[in-house]
Structure 1
């Protein structure tokens, strides 16, 4: 059996290295594969996925898709998505499937699907008009302005001032980006990251604000991770339901404790887990590799 770890990083990230090590420890042949190294050939009785630089058929049974790259042109992004689709069409088990990765990467669409399915999410608005942004902030009060696509809490702003919101929205629109708003959820100085694989909660931990004046709970922004030794059933159920709705095999689900109960903030379909592993002692790479092996053997 041969399984690839697909990522655009020139060298494997820490999480990718953990996956490669887990494959090795389980006696599985591994390959670190960049999306740019995948070549699709089809037509005239040929239907192959090849691998640079050898241009030999990519002989793998499975792949764990970590990322497709950043700052891509639309054409390059579509080409890489289609290359992964080609792998899937040839029978390769890809975790997570590229369609599900795209949906989860889009905070707008993924939360829309969750809300439609009855999963509690914060009140959200997505638009392209800065005057309306100011009116929404005036109505909602504390509002979070986020990039539509982003991670680790960078570029996220909290304001309750309509004038500040107006200025931020104008800048975003000048960059030809949509505006993504969420009504701020008052929380107990923390949120929760749940790592779910299949039907199992592998680990969960609180992300506690770095200081009383801080509001971001991303570990990359200084938040302190604290183990949740026994997640309650409601938290487990909402995390599992979330990844099933988005048709993901695994994900990091970010959940906030509000006055009305748990709400899903967003979903990361290719989470990094160095902080989680250090905090919980759980090695997600082993769990994920065993999971994809079980899928391949079905």
Structure 2
């Protein structure tokens, strides 16, 4: 069988390369597809997807990224082409559902509407709204609406700073996203789900910063379901609600409210930190899951 890995870089990034290596280890042929190079055509004979001049012919695809896109038209084109591909073969994760997870606000909105616990969160284009929110909450976290690895996330305690941040973003046509600061006990959790199974979970501990992303210097400590059953349960529920088939779920415990909260769900998760902490190799689980989908 031919199994594609879909990403946006000219050459496969580390995670995509590891998936391709796993596909080969499982006795199948890996194919690398680049989202900017994919086109789709509606013909009398059916839907055809091309990479440059070559028609795409694969049995399934694993989506790893669509790229950082500045125009709505390009984003919709890439999602639309991937949807065309998904109408013919299994694409994991589903492109449209991956787009919801990529947008932090829409991700939390979907979870909130299904009754899952998420932190108090504001999305706005109004600098006065942002200023009032910080005055009311005293300390919040500004996050890029679309982003990962903790990059760009900033603690905000000054209402005037929130005003200036939101006004600056408004002037270039971007919204602002603020989340109430949680009193974490020095760590949070990353839960990795494939299919209907948590394949591994870890505490992300960073003694030097409030940020607990592995990319920001945090270390991982493995966590079992017996130790943290609620964390495992929330991870599975979040992935199911969003309709994803593999994902990393970030969950925090707030000492102030004594509750767990889902911070975000990543449809294109990294896994180096989790693998180092738990010994679990997510690419093998993902590839086995995809092979099972093809055989059904």
TM-score (norm 1): 0.94
Give the paired residue count. 293
The whole-number CA distance in structure 2 between the counterparts of 1:229 and 1:244 is: 20
Per the alignment, residue 77 of structure 2 pairs with: 79
Please report how far the alpha carbon of residue 233 of structure 1 lies from its aligned counterpart in structure 2 after TM superposition.
Answer: 2.0
Shift of 1:89: 1.5
Deviates more, 1:39-48 or 1:149-158: 39-48
Which residue of the partner structure matches residue 141 of structure 1? 138
**Which of 208, 211, 216 is the matching residue for 1:221?**
216
**Residue of 179, 189, 194 corresponding to 1:192:** 189
How big is each residue's C-alpha offset from its partner over 1:71-101, in whole Å with a ceiling of 9 and x where there is no partner? 34222221111111111122x1000000111
Indicate conservation of the 8 Å contact 1:3/1:31, yes or no.
Answer: yes
The within-5 A match list for 1:144-155 is: 144-155=141-152
Which position in structure 1 is the counterpart of 2:276? 278
Shift in Å, 1:46? 4.7
8 Å Cα contact 2:39/2:50 also seen in 1: yes
Deviation of 1:14 after TM superposition, in Å, equals 1.3
Unaligned runs of 5+ in 2: none
Query: Any idea what the Cα deviations from partners look like across 1:221-262, whole Å, max 9, x if unmatched?
Result: 112222224452211111010001100001000000113321
**Matched residue of 1:33: which SS?**
strand
1:180 aligned to 147, 172, 177, which one? 177
Within a 5 Å distance, the mapping from 1:26-175 to structure 2 comes to 26-52=26-52, 55-90=53-88, 92-175=89-172
Counterpart contact for 1:210–1:222, Cα < 8 Å: no
Deviation at 1:50, TM superposition (A): 2.4
User: In 2 relative to 1, CA 2–122 (structure 1 residues): closer, same or farther, beyond 3 Å?
Assistant: same
Q: Does 1:236 align with 2:219?
A: no
The residue aligned with 2:23 is: 23
Rounded to whole Å, the distance in 1 between the matches of 2:266 and 2:145 is: 13
Q: 1:46 to 1:194 in 2, by over 3 A?
A: closer
Q: Find the residue that maps to 1:144 and give its secondary structure.
A: strand
Unaligned runs of 5+ in 1: none
Contact 1:18 1:285 in 2 (8 A): yes
RMSD: 1.4
Contact 1:124 1:180 in 2 (8 A): yes
TM-score normalised over the length of structure 2: 0.95
Question: Aligned to 1:41, what secondary structure does the other structure show?
Answer: strand
1:8-55 Cα shifts (integer Å, max 9, x gaps): 111111111111111101101110111133232223445322233xx3
Q: How far did 1:108 drift?
A: 0.8
The answer on whether the counterparts of 1:14 and 1:274 sit within 8 Å (CA) in structure 2 is: no
Work out the CA distance in 2 between the residues paired with 1:135 and 1:42. Answer: 50
Q: For residues 151 and 46 of structure 2, what CA distance do their matches in structure 1 show?
A: 45
Using the alignment, how far apart are the partners of 2:132 and 2:179 within structure 1? 14
Matched residue SS, 2:190: strand
State which drifts further: 172-181 or 110-119: 172-181
Return the alpha-carbon distance in structure 1 between the equivalents of residues 122 and 102 of structure 2. Answer: 17
